[in-house]
Structure 1
Amino acid sequence: MHHPEAGTSLIQRAHDEAAIWHEGQIRRNGDPFLTHCIAVAAIVAAIGMPPAVVCAALLHDIDDSSCPPNRVTECFGQEIAGLISAARTTRLSTIPLSVLNYHTAGPLAFQPTREEAVLAIRLADRLHNMRTIAFVPPTRRYHVARETLDVIAPLARAVGLTDVSRELHDLSSAVIRPTSTAAVTTRTLTTLTLLLPPPTRARWREEWHAELGTLPTRRTRTRFTLRVLLGTPKLSWTLRRTVSRERR
C-alpha cells in the first residue's frame, strides 16, 4: 500500500502487526482476514487521511484477535490506540455533521479531527464489508444493506464523500432489490446465448452467469452485459467457424 505522505514506515509496521495477530483468521469468503484490514486502510488513504489514521484502519479489528490489550498503545502510541477504540465504540448518529469537512480540505494538507478520522474508518469498514456481503447469511445481509442504504450512504454523501456514498448505495440496493438489476442482466445474457451455435450455448451461459455473480454493483453488471452484447456477434462468428471445421 502506498500513501502520498511521509509515514510509510509507520504504516508498514502497522501492517506487519496486523499480519501477526490476524494470522490464521479467515473471512466468510475464504480470504485471509488481513485482506480486510488492508482494504479498509486503502479506502481510508484514498479519502485523504494521514498515516496515523491509515495505521488505525489497518489495526481496527485487532481487538478481535489474541493481541494483548495494551500492545497497540505501547507500539503505536495513544493517538492510534484511541482512534481504534473510538472507531469500535462511537455511534455514527452521535457525530455532528457540522464538525466534518472532508469536501473542502485538501488531501495533502488535511489534518482531520478525531470525529473525521473515526468516521473515515467506519465508512471504509462498511464499504469493504458491503463489497463482500454476498457471503453473509441472508437475514443479516438484508439488515446491513438496509442500514447502509438508509443511514450510512446518506451520511457519506452529506460529508462530501460522494464516491463512497455512491458505491454504498449501489451495493446495498443490489441486495435489497436484486430483481431490478441482477435478474434483468441474467435474462439478457441467457438470451444472447441464442446467437451462438447450439453446442456452445450451455458453456457460455454458465461462464457469463458465473462472472456476473462476482460483480457487486449494478454499474459493473451493466458494463459487463454491454461488453458481452457488443462482443457476441464476433464470438458467434468465431464459434460457428470452429464448429464448421470440426464437422469436416
Structure 2
Amino acid sequence: MHHPDADTSLIRRAHHEAAIWHAGQTRRSGDPFLTHCIAVAVIVADIGMPPPVICAALLHDIDDSPCPPGRVTERFGKEIAELISAVRTARLSAIPLSALHFHTARPPTLQPTREEAVLAIRLADRLHNMRTIAFVTPTRRYRVARETLEVIAPLARAAGLTDVSRELHDLSCSVIQPPSTAAVATRALTVLTLLLPPPTRARWREEWHAELGALPTCRTRARFTLRVLLSTPKLAWTLRRTALRERRW
C-alpha cells in the first residue's frame, strides 16, 4: 500500500457511484463494465497514486453513462471532476516529460502533478484494454496495438514506469506479431515428449520436428500435431512397458 494512512472512504464512495451509473453496461467480452473501472483503479493504485486519483480512475468513464452533468462535482469536488475531464481530453504527446517524476522516490504526502495523475489513468486504461484486446475486432486490435507499441509504451518508459511499459510492449507485440502456427506446433510437440520415457525423448522430438518441418501448410501441420497428441499416450505406455521388460531380462 503506497498510502497506508489514506482515507479510503473516498474510494468506496467512488466505487459505489460507478456501480450505480455503469449498471447494466457490459464490455465486448460480456463482463460488466464496472470490472474495467475497478481494474484501471487497481493499476493506478499500484503505480502509487493517492485516493483522489484512484477515485478519478474509478469514474474515468462516467461521462459514457447516464450520470447527470455536474453530479461528480457535487459529490466529489471540482478537483476530481476536472481531473476526469482532463483524462478524456488530454493529448499524451503534449505532456512534458519534465512534469513526470514517477522514477524518483518521494514521500506519500507529496501529491502527484496533474500531468502525472492524467498519465497514470490513461496508461492504466490502455493497459487493461490491451489485456482484454482479444474481444476487439481484428482491424481495431491491430491499430490500437500499433499505437501502443509506437507511442504509449515508449511514453511510459520515458516517464519511469518501466513495468507498465514492458507489459504494454509485450501485449502489443503479441497482437502485431502473433506466434506462427509452426512455432506453436513445435512447442506442443516438445511438451508432448515429456510424456515419454526420458531416454527416448530426444529421438522422438527430433523425428516429430523433422516431420513437422516437411509439411507445407498450416492445416497439415495442425493435423499432424493432433495425430501425435492422440497417439502419444499409447506410445508412452508401449515404450515404458518395453523398457521394463528389457530391465527384467
Partner of 1:147: 147
- In structure 2, distance between residues paired with 1:188 and 1:107: 47
Query: Is 1:134 paired with 2:134?
Result: yes
- In structure 2, distance between residues paired with 1:33 and 1:2: 26
Unmatched tracts of structure 2, length 5 or more: 197-231, 242-249
- In structure 2, distance between residues paired with 1:53 and 1:62: 14
Give the aligned CA root-mean-square deviation in angstroms: 2.5
- Quote how far apart the aligned CAs of 1:193 are: 3.3
Q: Answer with 1 or 2: which has the greater Rg.
A: 2
Query: Is 1:70 paired with 2:70?
Result: yes
Partner of 1:85: 85
Equivalent AA in structure 2 for residue 69 of structure 1: P
Cα gap change, 1:110 to 1:47, in 2 (>3 Å): farther
- State the TM-score, normalizing by the size of structure 2: 0.75
Cα gap change, 1:119 to 1:195, in 2 (>3 Å): closer
- In structure 1, distance between residues paired with 2:105 and 2:2: 20
Partner of 1:192: 191
- Quote how far apart the aligned CAs of 1:7 are: 2.0
Contact residue 2 and residue 48 of structure 2 kept, 8 A: no
Cα gap change, 1:162 to 1:89, in 2 (>3 Å): same
Contact residue 3 and residue 45 of structure 1 kept, 8 A: no
Q: Secondary structure at the match of 1:178?
A: coil
Partner of 1:9: 9
Cα gap change, 1:240 to 1:168, in 2 (>3 Å): same
Contact residue 15 and residue 58 of structure 1 kept, 8 A: yes
Q: Secondary structure at the match of 1:179?
A: coil
- Quote how far apart the aligned CAs of 1:167 are: 0.2
Cα deviations by residue, 1:98-126 (Å, 9 ceiling, x for unpaired): 11111113362341011110000000000
Equivalent AA in structure 1 for residue 183 of structure 2: V
- In structure 2, distance between residues paired with 1:83 and 1:183: 48
- In structure 1, distance between residues paired with 2:25 and 2:146: 28
- Quote how far apart the aligned CAs of 1:5 are: 3.9
Query: Is 1:117 paired with 2:103?
Result: no
- In structure 2, distance between residues paired with 1:183 and 1:7: 53
- In structure 2, distance between residues paired with 1:169 and 1:95: 20
- In structure 2, distance between residues paired with 1:178 and 1:117: 33
Equivalent AA in structure 1 for residue 191 of structure 2: L
Cα gap change, 1:156 to 1:85, in 2 (>3 Å): same
- In structure 2, distance between residues paired with 1:98 and 1:2: 23
Cα deviations by residue, 1:212-236 (Å, 9 ceiling, x for unpaired): xxxxxxxxxxxxxxxxxxxxxxx96
Partner of 1:167: 167
Cα gap change, 1:183 to 1:62, in 2 (>3 Å): farther
Unmatched tracts of structure 1, length 5 or more: 198-234
- In structure 2, distance between residues paired with 1:110 and 1:166: 26
- In structure 2, distance between residues paired with 1:107 and 1:140: 41
- Quote how far apart the aligned CAs of 1:30 are: 1.2
Contact residue 5 and residue 108 of structure 1 kept, 8 A: no
- In structure 2, distance between residues paired with 1:183 and 1:114: 48
Partner of 2:212: none
- In structure 2, distance between residues paired with 1:111 and 1:54: 13
Query: Is 1:38 paired with 2:76?
Result: no
